[in-house]
Structures are given as C-alpha cells and as structure tokens.
A and B are shown apart, each in its own frame.
Chain A
Amino acid sequence: MDAGILTQQAFNALTIGAMYALIALGYTMVYGIIELINFAHGDVFMVGSFVTLWLLSTFGVQGAINDPPRLTIMLIVMFAFTMTVMGLVGVVIERFAYRPLRNAPRLAPLITAIGVSFILQNIIQVTFSNSPVNVPRVIEPQAGATVQLPQFAVANFQVTASPVTFAYSHIFIIVLAVSLMVALQLFVGRTRLGRAMRSTAIDREAAQLMGVDINTTIALTFFIGSALAGAAGVAWALNYGTTKFDIGFQAGLKSFTAAVLGGIGNTTGAALGGFLIAFIEVFSSQLGYSRWSEAIVFSILILVLVFRPTGLLGQRLAERA
C-alpha cells in the first residue's frame, strides 16, 4: 500500500478527467437543447488540437517557454484563438448540417453528425498526417512540485508514501477546466442568454413564443460547446505534446459516455462523469489491466444505464414504454 502512488494516480485521473469533462460539457449542452448526439463533437476537439499546432508553428514556438509573462500571453492567445475558431466551426456545422434537419426524424441529424465526423477526420488526415504529430509543449512538462506525503502505520499495516509530483502543466489544465466549468454554470444560470438556453432546452416552442430567438440560442449553444471542446484540444496538446487525426473518435466516445453516465443534459453530471471515467481508466491501469480498461468503462456504462436509465444525476424521466 503506497499512498504516494495512489495520490499520483488520482492526480493523473484528475488531469485526464478535466479534458473528458470539457468535451462532455459540449455533448450534454447540445443534447440538452436539441436532443442530438453530436457525433462530430469529438472531432471538433481533435481539430482544436491541430489549430493549436498551426498557431504555435505560425508563431515559431519550438518548445517550452520559460519566461512567465511571455508564457502567460502565449497561453491566453492559444486558448482565445482556438476556442474562438472552434466555436465558429461548431456554429458552421450546426448551420449547414443540423439546422436544415431540425424537424426531420431523429435519425437524420444523427447520421449527418456521423458524416461530419468523417469529413473532419479525413480533412485533417490528408492535410496534416496519418501519424502522430508533435505539438510543442509551451509549459515545461517536467516542471512540477514534488511533495512527500507523511508515512504512517496503522497497527501492523504500514502505509508508505513515495514522493508525488504535481506537474505544473497538469495543475494548469485542472484549474483551467474547473474555472471554465464554473464560468459556464454562471453563464447559464445568471445571464439572459443563459436563461434563453435553459428555456429553449425545456420547451422550444414555448421559448419561441416568449420571444427567444431559437436559432441564435442554438447557435450559441454550439459555439460554447465547441469552444469548450477547443479548449480541451489545447489542453490535450499542452499535456501530451502530440496529436493525431483519430484522437477525436476515442476521446469523443469516452466523453459522451461521461455525459450519459452523469445524466445527459446535466452539466454538473457531465463533469462528474468525465472524472469518474478517468478514474476508472487510471485505476484499471494501476492494477495492471490497461488492456481491459475500455471494456471496463463501457461495461460500467451499460450497468449504470440498466439500474439508472437517466444517468447518475439525470432528472428527466426516460419515456416509459
């Protein structure tokens, strides 16, 4: 029993979970408002990481920036730019692929979403590369605070603790993700546009009658969701220093699982689900079952849905039929 390793793994899980949660928020928001599983969302995240790559190469950034003011500016530029671009991409996708199908049978937009996902992947694949591509990591990846947890013994049970390293880049990602989530909550809860979003989600027609511009509201939802996915893309590039055209499918799949696990349509649930999935993954690796982790994640998803069809925090009742 090594408390240090468990803490380290929990910290690893928080980092991965932060990224899943950011992506999951977009899924859950879009689902909440137009009841569409936006399959292209994972690929929006992937494109975000490539936008970061493009930006960094345009600025000629080669590696870690050690000068704090410059680093801060660079980070702000990276996030602002990528989030804006991806937000716009999301709006464009909504405008051309989903809006014409808003009153079509449910299956139709779902299938276009899959189509959009294919298109985004293939464009990146032929434009950049089939192989993993390096992205410079602007935050020195090995820099971090190393902490020695206290060691103690309970009766005959010795709890040891190897030192735990909290990498700055990971701390940054976790803090950023949490602040974005809080900002989103405030936006949805406290602003006029946020209210419009909520009312549209509850009853689109009623909201329309009350003077809410549905098209703008839905576009806004896509903008915010895609911008968050873009932020996750930047975080990914910062964390791993690499990206690939097909990371979107897998990350998207897990994030959607996170959204469903937490209760789709519920933003807190999405965040919770993201962290939960990351913990499951990390601790199956810790136990030496990396090769099974995917199967474990999806089995848990199926089990949760069997026992709680609305997800962990879901409130909306599933149709009984």
Chain B
Amino acid sequence: MTEQIAPPVLRAVRLTKAFGGLVAVKDVDFEVKAGSITSLIGPNGAGKTTLFNVVAGLSDPTEGYVEFLGQKMVASPERGWLEPILWVLPAGLVWLLTYGLGLAGVVTAAIEVLILVGLGLLIATLIVAVIRPAWYTRLLVVLGVFKSARPNDMVQAGIGRTFQNIRLFANMTALENVLVGMHGQLKASPLDAVLRTGKQRREEVASIEEARRLLQYAGLRNRDNELARNLPYGDQRRLEIARALATKPKLLLLDEPTAGMNPSETATMMKLFSRIRTELNLPILLIEHDMRVVMGISDSVTVLDHGEKISEGTPDQVRADARVIEAYLGKGAI
C-alpha cells in the first residue's frame, strides 16, 4: 500500500450533532485520503447515519465542520436570519422612502413609480437569492452569514452518494435515472430545449451514450428501459451506484451499499468498489455495520460507538483494538 502525501479529500473536524438532549454524534474527527476507501463502521445506533447525513449536507452539525477539498462546506449556520432580511431590505427601503414622500405630500405619480420600483427590486432580490450568483455568496460571507452547502451544492463540488434505503426515481427508467445523475454536467438551457438547438440535441445523444456506458460499467446490461422500481433488488443497488457515478464525483459516499444482499451478491459488489477505486481512482467513504464486509477492501477504518469515535486505523489495527471488540461483542468478550 502506497503512502498518500496529498491532502485529504474530506476532513471532518470535531463534529457533534445533538437532537435536543440526545447527542447522536460527539466530537468525531476523521478524514478520507485521496484514492482510498475509508470505512465508517459501528454497531446499530452508533450514529453512523447521522454522521453521514451531516457529511452529505442533509442536516447541520451542532458543532464542528466538514471540509471538502480544503473548503468549508458544512457547519452550523450563523446569522441565518440575516438572509431573508436581505431579500426584503431594498424593497423595504424604497417603500419606506415612498411612505415618507407620501407624508411630505409629493405627487402621486412619483409615488406610484416608486412602489413599482420596490416591487421590481423585491422580485429581483428573490430571484438572486434563488440563483445564488457568486457575488451574492461573497456578500453573505462578508456579512458573516454561513449556511451549509445544500445537497446539490455538495454534488456540484464533487460528492456523489447512495442511500441506505434505496432512493431511486421509481417511475423513471434505469437510463433516465442515470441521466438525472448527469444533470449537473449537462449545460443545455431550457431555451435550448425549447428551440431544440443542435447543441442540445448533440448533448442529449452524447449523454445517452455515456449513461448506457455507466449502466454497463455497474453491471446493468440491457436494462436501460426498465423502470427502476421493476428492477430486482441487487440491480437497484447497482443502479444507485451508476447514478452516483454519473454525477462525476471526486468522492463517493456509500451508505450500507450491501444491506440486504446475500454473500455472493455482496462479494460482487465489493469487487465493483475495488474496481471503482483502482480504475477511476475515486476515493470512497463507506458506511457499514457489518465489520467483516469492509475489512477486505478498506484502507482505513473509523469505528463509532454511541456517537463517539472509539478506534481508527488500518483494518488490522482496528480488528485488534480491544474497544472495538467490546463494542461489537459486549463487555467481557475478551
């Protein structure tokens, strides 16, 4: 195994997540190194999924933060209330001015124009808030507003994921599912679609080719036109991975990808992960509760129990750790 000198792809620092009084994750640090498979394991209820959801941007941590490729992506929000105020502020100021002018007895025509200007400003700011151009984000940073990246921002940044309980688009075909995964790479605008420009048509045809390639890669030959919900269970898992790969990730988050599979299916799946790592050079963060499954392919394993990190290291180191054995088998098992 070669040593990695490159900085970690993903770094979680002092992550804590509490639901009311219940602390699900407590002060957890870990990192995923480039080109490695890192596994997060622990018994049921250890806080794996909670941690995973924080990392994937689904819920904000109570404390700590997550960095991806050196950029802070997820932390608890700061001054979140400021943002909605920003939206109504310009319009509000204009309307206040209008009200003042009205009190001062200025002609109504000017006031009507100003009211419309305010309305226009309101629409404009709301649209800006939705589109979030770079300057808007910078403005928020200047004002000290921090909001965790939305899940779709995480994907754009390069984190692809699968779900523990499969979440495919059930009434869309396998091919369409993968095409949805490619959404972020496609550039054709709605206007292109309406006008059926050459650019849009070329892009569509190319993306269909690419999607079929990905389906084949994940082991789904000739299943393109099958509705996702009609696929057998194992294929649904594969389709989720194909769909996640379609987002062109720089890091793949897999949430119990072998749950509910028989040993031979699991073995095939493991092979797929190794291939993804070696052929695509894609780092993987894997969640599992079955320790044996991950030992064969992981470069590094982090063990959680009751929300706390109890061990970390190579599979061999972890396997030998007394606390891990205790967590899995109970006190006195040694």
Contact = CB atoms under 8 A, between A and B. Distances in A.
B84 A321 contact: no
A307 B81 CA distance: 7
Interface in B87-109: 87
Contacts of B259: none
Interface residues of B, number: 9
Contact of A320 (B84, B87, B150): B150
Interface string B142-180: 000000001110000000000000000000000000000
Contacts of A307: 81, 84
B81 A320 contact: no
B58 interface: yes
Contacts of B84: 306-307
A306 B151 CA distance: 20
Nearest to B147: A320
Interface string A282-321: 0000000000000000000000001100000000010011
B311 interface: no
A94 B157 CA distance: 46
Q: Interface size bucket, A side? A: under 10
Interface string B200-218: 0000000000000000000
B59 interface: yes
Contacts, number: 13
Contacts of A306: 84, 87
Contacts of B87: 306
B151 A321 contact: yes
A320 B81 CA distance: 15
Nearest to B57: A320
Interface in B36-81: 57-59, 81
A307 to B, nearest CB: 5
Interface secondary structure of A, over-half rule: loop
A109 B104 CA distance: 54
A310 to B, nearest CB: 13
A5 to B, nearest CB: 26
Nearest to B20: A315
A152 to B, nearest CB: 31
Contacts of A320: 57-59, 150-151
B54 to A, nearest CB: 12
User: Which of B81, B84, B151, B152 counts the most A-chain CB atoms under 10 A from its CB?
Assistant: B84
Interface in A108-162: none
A62 to B, nearest CB: 54
A321 B150 CA distance: 6
A114 to B, nearest CB: 23
Nearest to B87: A306
A317 B53 CA distance: 14
A317 B60 CA distance: 11
A235 B311 CA distance: 64
A47 to B, nearest CB: 37
Contacts of B151: 320-321
A282 B58 CA distance: 42
Nearest to B148: A320
Interface string A198-235: 00000000000000000000000000000000000000
Contacts of B57: 320
B248 to A, nearest CB: 21
A76 to B, nearest CB: 42
Interface in B258-273: none
B279 to A, nearest CB: 32
Contacts of A321: 150-152
Nearest to A315: B20
A50 to B, nearest CB: 42
Contacts of A317: 59
Interface string A17-60: 00000000000000000000000000000000000000000000
A221 B162 CA distance: 37
A317 B57 CA distance: 14
B257 to A, nearest CB: 22
Interface in B215-268: none
A317 B76 CA distance: 14
A306 B57 CA distance: 21
Q: List 3 A-B pairs, minimum CB-CB distance, nearest first.
A: A307-B84, A306-B84, A321-B151
13 contacts: A306-B84, A306-B87, A307-B81, A307-B84, A317-B59, A320-B57, A320-B58, A320-B59, A320-B150, A320-B151, A321-B150, A321-B151, A321-B152
Given A307-B81, A320-B58, A321-B152, 10 more contacts: A306-B84, A306-B87, A307-B84, A317-B59, A320-B57, A320-B59, A320-B150, A320-B151, A321-B150, A321-B151
